[in-house]
């Protein structure tokens, strides 16, 4: 991933394509978001990180089998794979594309509202990989160059944009969370995959709190100390350490204690700082209330995955087995069980951790998959869901990936459903038996009685929250026509986010990695209803 090499001073609002006015009522700036009205305005659905929409009563376990494709939005074929989870508010769906645009469309019909082109800010090609957050009169989102944007939700015109990090490879995959007039967002990086010729590494992860109206940084919490020169690499390039500890996912916030919770990634060099950790920060000041590290040593860069002995010289801890890549890239869940306020979070090692939200002390942990050597692709990737009764957690490429329901007080497994055995032998995936894998890429979503999870096999499925039984399945690996006039073909369900269910409609991005991406059609956002 490339960071932008330049920065443009913005004196006037960026240009947008305004197709039609947004007529729905929009709350004034600073107004509280009506979480209970059935909208899905932020990545986790609410500030507590539940990924549960309690107001969704149109789609039920009894009628979910009647869902059908209502409309699709197609991306240009050269754009790549989509990852930006949609947000739904006041009859409009907002989503970012791999083509470097943020879109606002009519939630029910797909009709155009406006399009914002990120190319009007900064320099270099870009994409939107996080999910937007809608709050007050603005839509907030980041890009792969390390910028955070705020645009007017009625018109799509730019209010402000701020580059949060200028380190090569800096990226915003953390979806913003808005609370009490501030935007909380993490910054991560792909600097550790820039290759042996790069003087690795100077990036250090951070969580930022910005004024929601102006974009001014209120505080910044770095996850590792400032990197210093630490010798040279085998090719003579300078080495810097410690580095890494990126913040990949969206935070959650407890509005009562005013505590922000978020997970961090592995180190790139050295071993210092709060890598592979859960952070509990004061929302007002950014000071740590507690931090809890889950992995003692985890220093990883791209060369750690190579079989070439020359490459492995750049991964000095590979022989002792501590080049792990065991990020806490999943978003946290805040809930109450057994009379205690708890924070839960999944890790790429395959463990779901539950900690006391006040102290950070472990309450219980559950190993749900066996870790893969030198990489956490078998573990828990992007996020889990809590519906007030159970925790729902999915493992990725765990041979096969499996969807679990756990007791929130004890971690006891209530049911588990492996990725269906016919996923790679039916539908579009059947054409690619050597590539298709039975895994769960997206974050888990719930509505009353239903668990929503998409697969690497291209199927979007609804499961019974009571039993884990598949209630509905749709193969997205098919040709569709986009409402925007372009053809599309789905594929693996998108990582970086999950399904969004709001006001009787299901939204999902399809055409993610590990699918033979067709070069004659682009990926798609698909929308289902009854």
Convert the pLDDT of each residue in 356-396 to its tens digit. 999 999 999 999 999 987 788 999 999 999 999 999 999 99
pLDDT at 518: 59
186 and 247 in contact (C-beta within 8 Å)? yes
pLDDT of residue 36: 62
CA distance 7 to 101: 18
What percent of the chain clears pLDDT 70, i.e. is strictly above it?
92
Q: Residue 506: name the closest of 476, 477, 480, 526 by CA.
A: 526
pLDDT for residue 517: 59
Strand ranges, E, within 190-339: 206-211, 217-222, 228-232, 238-241, 243-244, 252-254, 259-263, 267-269, 277-282, 288-293, 333-337
Q: What is the pLDDT of residues 172-205, one digit of tens each?
A: 999 999 999 999 999 999 999 999 999 999 999 9
pLDDT in tens, 29-42: 333 344 569 999 99
Rounded distance, CA 71 to CA 25, Å?
Answer: 24
pLDDT of 270 higher than 90: yes
For the record, the structure tokens of 513 come out as 């990695």
State the average pLDDT over residues 273-281. Answer: 98
Q: Residue 138 is inside which H or E element, if any?
A: strand 138-142
Measured distance between the N- and C-terminal CA atoms of the chain, rounded to whole angstroms:
40
Per-residue pLDDT band at 1 (split at 50, 70, 90)? very low
For residue 491, count CB atoms less than 10 angstroms from its CB and return exposed for 0-12, middle for 13-18, buried for 19 or more.
Answer: buried
CA–chain centroid gap for 73, Å, is 20
Dist CA 441 CA 250 (whole Å): 17
Q: What φ, ψ does residue 229 adopt, rounded to 5°?
A: -60, 130
List, for residues 93-130, the tens digit of each pLDDT value: 999 999 999 999 999 999 999 999 999 999 999 999 99
| Cβ 186 vs Cβ 249: under 8 Å | yes
d(CA 487, CA 530): 23
Q: What is d(CA 293, CA 275) in angstroms, rounded to the nearest whole number?
A: 7
Outline where DSSP puts E strands in 357-495: 362-367, 385-386, 391-394, 402-406, 413-418, 445-447, 450-454, 459-464, 470-475, 479-481, 487-489, 492-493
User: Cis before residue 36, ω within 30 degrees of 0?
Assistant: no
Instruction: Give the predicted TM-score (pTM) of the model.
Output: 0.93
Which pLDDT value is given to residue 476? 97
Tokens 């986790």, residue located: 44
User: What pLDDT band is residue 516 in, cutting at 50, 70 and 90?
Assistant: low
The pLDDT value given to residue 373: 75
Q: Compute how many other C-beta atoms are within 10 angstroms of the C-beta atom of residue 509.
A: 34
Q: Judging by DSSP bridges, how do beta strands 68-74 and 524-529 pair with one another?
A: antiparallel
Closest CA to 128 of 92, 168, 85, 161: 85
Q: What is the pLDDT of residue 81?
A: 92
Q: What is the pLDDT of residue 7?
A: 33
Q: Measured between alpha carbons, how far is 246 from 207 in angstroms, rounded to an integer?
A: 9
- Which residue(s) pair with 141 in the sheet? 149
- What 3-state DSSP class applies to 64? helix
| Least confident window among 111-120, 396-405, 515-524 | 515-524
Q: How do residues 421-451 score in pLDDT, each as one tens digit?
A: 999 999 999 999 999 999 999 999 999 999 9
Looking at every residue in the chain, the average pLDDT score rounds to 92
What whole-number distance in Å separates Cα of residue 257 and Cα of residue 289? Answer: 11
Q: For residue 139, give the nearest of 179, 184, 87, 91 by alpha carbon.
A: 87
What confidence score (pLDDT) does residue 316 get? Answer: 86
Helix, strand, coil proportions of the chain in percent (round to 5)?
5, 40, 55
Predicted confidence (pLDDT) per residue in 291-302, tens digit: 999 999 999 999
What is the pLDDT averaged over residues 217-224?
98
Per-residue pLDDT tens digits for 54-104: 999 999 999 999 999 999 999 999 998 999 999 999 999 999 999 999 999
Listed residue (494, 495, 455) closest to 475, CA to CA = 455
How high is the pLDDT of residue 341?
Answer: 97
pLDDT in tens, 461-498: 999 999 999 999 999 999 999 999 999 999 999 999 99
> Is omega for the bond preceding 380 within 30 degrees of 0, making it cis?
no
Question: Please, are residues 28 and 137 in contact by the beta-carbon 8 Å criterion?
Answer: yes
Q: How far is CA 386 from CA 40, 252, 496, 509, in A?
A: 15, 13, 18, 22
């Amino acid at each position: 991933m490339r960071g932008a090499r330049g920065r443009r001073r913005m004196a006037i609002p960026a240009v947008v394509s305004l197709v039609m006015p947004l007529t729905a009522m929009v709350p004034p700036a600073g107004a509280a978001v009506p979480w209970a009205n059935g909208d899905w305005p932020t990545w986790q659905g609410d500030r507590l990180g539940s990924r549960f929409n309690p107001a969704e009563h149109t789609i039920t376990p009894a009628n979910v089998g009647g869902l059908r494709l209502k409309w699709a939005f197609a991306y240009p074929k050269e754009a790549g794979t989509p990852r930006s989870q949609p947000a739904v508010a006041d009859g409009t769906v907002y989503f970012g594309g791999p083509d470097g645009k943020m879109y606002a469309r009519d939630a029910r019909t797909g009709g155009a509202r406006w399009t914002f082109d990120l190319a009007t800010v900064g320099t270099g090609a870009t994409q939107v990989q996080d999910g937007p957050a809608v709050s007050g009169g603005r839509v907030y989102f980041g890009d792969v160059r390390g910028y955070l944007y705020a645009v007017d939700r009625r018109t799509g015109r730019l209010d402000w944009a701020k580059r949060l990090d200028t380190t090569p490879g800096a990226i915003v995959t953390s979806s913003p969370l808005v609370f009490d007039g501030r935007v909380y967002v993490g910054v991560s990086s792909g600097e550790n995959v820039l290759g042996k010729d790069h003087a690795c590494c100077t990036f250090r992860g951070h969580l930022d709190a910005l004024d929601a109206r102006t974009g001014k940084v209120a505080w910044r919490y770095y996850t590792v100390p400032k990197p210093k020169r630490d010798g040279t690499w085998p090719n003579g390039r300078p080495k810097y350490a410690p580095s890494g500890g990126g913040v990949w996912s969206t935070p959650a916030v407890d509005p009562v204690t005013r505590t922000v919770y978020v997970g961090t990634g592995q180190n790139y060099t050295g071993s210092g700082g709060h890598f592979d950790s859960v952070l509990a920060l004061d929302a007002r000041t950014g000071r740590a209330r507690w931090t809890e590290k889950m992995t003692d040593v985890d220093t990883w860069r791209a060369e750690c995955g190579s079989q070439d002995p020359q490459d492995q010289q750049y991964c000095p801890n590979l022989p002792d087995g501590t080049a792990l890549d065991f990020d806490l890239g999943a978003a946290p869940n805040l809930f109450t069980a057994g009379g205690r306020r708890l924070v839960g979070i999944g890790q790429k090692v395959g463990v779901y951790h539950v900690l006391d939200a006040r102290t950070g002390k472990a309450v219980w942990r559950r190993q749900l998959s066996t870790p893969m050597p030198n990489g956490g692709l078998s573990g828990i990737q992007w996020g889990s869901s809590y519906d007030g009764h159970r925790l729902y957690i999915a493992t990725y490429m765990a041979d096969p990936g499996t969807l679990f329901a756990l007791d929130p007080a004890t971690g006891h497994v209530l049911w588990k459903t492996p990725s269906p055995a016919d996923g790679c032998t039916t539908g579009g995936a059947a054409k690619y038996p050597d590539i298709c894998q039975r895994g769960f890429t997206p974050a888990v979503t719930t509505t009353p009685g239903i668990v929503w999870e998409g697969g690497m096999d291209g199927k979007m499925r609804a499961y019974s929250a009571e039993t884990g039984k598949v209630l509905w399945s749709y193969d997205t690996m098919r040709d569709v026509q986009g409402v925007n006039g372009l053809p599309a073909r789905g594929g693996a369900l998108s990582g970086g986010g999950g399904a969004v269910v709001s006001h009787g409609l299901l939204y999902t991005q399809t055409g993610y990695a590990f699918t033979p991406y067709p070069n004659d059609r682009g990926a798609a956002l698909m929308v289902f209803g009854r």
